[in-house]
Amino acid sequence: MNNFLQWLDHGSISSVPGFKAAGVTAGFKRSGAPDFAMFVAENPCNFAGVFTSCKFAAAPVQYDRELVLRGGKLQGAIINSGIANACTGLQGLKAAKESARIAGGALQISPDLIAVASTGRIGVQMPMELIRRGVELAVTELSDKGGENASRAIMTTDTVPKAVALQLEIGGKTVTVGAMTKGAGMIDPCLTSPHATMLCFIATDADVENELLQSILDRNAKDSFNRITVDGDMSTNDTVMIFANGRSGVKIEKDSPEAAQFQQAVLLVMQNLARRMVGDGEGSTKLVTIEIIHARSEADAKIAAEAVANSLLCKTAWFGNDPNWGRVVAALGYSGAEFCPDKCDVFFGSIPVVLSGGDAGTPEADLMDTVKAPEFTIRCDFHDGDCSYWVWSSDISYEYVKINADYHT
C-alpha cells in the first residue's frame, strides 16, 4: 500500500477530473447572495448516500433515498439554499421530481441521473420558477473551477464556504477525492442508510461499485458527521452523497488493501469538513472534543460524550472561559451511561479536575489557558472497561441566540 497523500490548494468538488460545478444566484435568498449550486460529471457515476433519520425528512431526502434504493447511476446534483422543501407534503415531493426533470432537460440527460437537495426554511413550498432560473444560470457557468462557487451557493448561516480535495496514489495511479459541505446550525446529524441541516457532496475519479461506496459511506459517517454537534438539533434535510466516475482507471475491490486506503482518504475528507462545520457553528468561538475512555461499552461512552457535548450549561461555560467541571460531571451523571462515579477521572486538556469522583484540587487559574484556547479536549476516564467514544462540539454564544431569533433567508 502506497501512503502518498496530498491535500490540494483551493480543493473542491470540481478538483476531481471529470466533474464540473457552478454556484449562482437564483433568487431564493433576500440578500441576493448565491443560492443555487450544480455539479455534473462527464459520464454517469456509481453513487451512494446516507440521510437524516428525522421522521420529518424533507422531500429531496425522500427523493434521493429512492435513488439510492433503486441503484444504478447518477450524473450530478442540484442544491438550492434558502428553502428546505420540508413539511411540504405531496406538492413538495412533486417539486423535487420536477426539479430533477428541469435539470435533466437542461443538461440533455435523463432526470433519473440527477439528485436534488435543499436547505433553508421549513414549511415553504418550492417556487419552481426559481429552480428553472437557477438551472438555466448554472448550466452556463459549469466549470472545472466552479467548485468554490458551488460551495458558497449552498451556505445558509455559514460564515465561510467549506470545500476540500486530496489526491492519493493507488497502484501507481493518482486518485482524487473532492467534496463540499454546508452547515452551521441545526447540527446534530444521525445519518443512516436507506432501509442530515448539513449537506455534503463528495466526488471521486476512482472506480467503485455502489455497494462498496455505500459501505464506505456508512462506516465513515459514523466517525465524522455523526460525531459532531453544534446545538443538538437534527435537521430534516441532512444528506451526504458520494459519486464515483471511474475516470482514474483505478478499480477499488471489496476487502482489498486499496479499499482500506481509499476508505481512509474519504474519511479524512469527511472529518476535515465535519470539524470545519463545528468550527463555523452559529456564533461559536470554541471547538471542544469530548472524549470518554475505558467505558463498559461503546454505547455507554457514546451517550456520556453526547450528554456533555450537548449540555447548554457546559457550552455556555466554554463560551465564558469558565472551567466549571461540575457541569461536566452532572451531564455524565444524568446521561444514562453505566459507570461508577467513584472511579471517574476528568481532565481539561492534560490537567486533572476530577480524580476518583472528587475534586482534584487543581486551582481554576491553572485551567484558564486551556479553556480560553479556540480548541481543547475534555477527557473522562471511567476506569470501567475497554471502550471509548469521542464527539466534536462547540460552545454557545450570545450570537447563536441572535442568529436563531432573527433567522430568515
Residues 246-262: pLDDT tens digits?
999 999 999 999 999 99
Quick check: 304 and 332 in contact, CB under 8 A?
Answer: yes
CATH of domain 287-405: 3.10.20.340
Label the pairing between strands 287-295 and 375-381.
parallel
50-91 pLDDT, tens per residue?
998 888 899 999 999 999 999 999 999 999 999 999 999 999
140-173 pLDDT, tens per residue?
999 999 999 999 999 987 888 999 999 999 999 9
pLDDT value of residue 195: 40
Average pLDDT estimate for 24-48: 96
Residue 226 has pLDDT above 60, yes or no: yes
pLDDT value of residue 3: 61
pLDDT value of residue 192: 53
Active-site residue, 197 included: yes
When mean pLDDT is compared across 195-199, 275-279, 282-286, 350-354, the lowest value belongs to 195-199
**Buried (b) or exposed (e) across 18-57, using 16+ Cβ within 10 A?**
bbbbbbbbbebbeeebbbbbbbbbeebbbbbbbbbebeeb
Average pLDDT estimate for 323-349: 97
CA angle 135, 101, 47 (to 5 degrees): 90
Residue 101 has pLDDT above 90, yes or no: yes
Most confident of the following: 159-173, 175-189, 226-240: 159-173
Residue 23 has pLDDT above 70, yes or no: yes
Residue 227 has pLDDT above 80, yes or no: yes
Catalytic hit among 52, 197, 204, 370: 197
pLDDT value of residue 187: 45
Report domain extents, the chain.
5-279, 287-405
DSSP lists the bridge partners of residue 39 as 21, 77
CATH topology of domain 5-279: L-amino peptidase D-ALA esterase/amidase (3.60.70)
